[in-house]
Amino acid sequence: MGKKCIICGQEAKFSIKDSSEFYCQDCAEEQFGDLDMLVKVEEEAQKLKAAIEENLRLDKQ
């Protein structure tokens, strides 16, 4: 299940680093203007997935 924008409820594409606040593209642009300050949700999900897979691989050894 994807994250939802805290403002409008659409699918979130961005978040504030180390926060549980998520934003869709439109709301992020409206609230922050500079999206470089935000973290893309998909990138963070991929990092978490890689860490979990590495942990599982190490546990099997």
Counted residue by residue, the chain has a size of: 61
40 in a structural domain: yes
> Residue 59 and residue 5: Cα distance in Å, rounded?
36
Non-local CB neighbours of 40 within 8 Å, separated by 6+ positions: 13, 14
**Do residues 26 and 32 lie in contact, with contact meaning Cβ atoms separated by under 8 Å?**
no
The pTM is what? 0.67
34 in a structural domain: yes
**Do residues 32 and 22 lie in contact, with contact meaning Cβ atoms separated by under 8 Å?**
no
Q: How confident is the model at residue 1 (pLDDT cuts 50, 70, 90)?
A: low
4 in a structural domain: no
Question: Using one digit for the tens of pLDDT, what is the confidence trace for 6-20?
Answer: 999 999 999 988 888
Q: Tell me how many domains the chain contains.
A: 1
6 in a structural domain: no
Compute CA 26 distance to the chain's CA centroid, rounded to the nearest angstrom: 15
3 in a structural domain: no
| Residues paired with 14 in a beta bridge | 23, 40
Residue 33 domain boundaries:
14-60
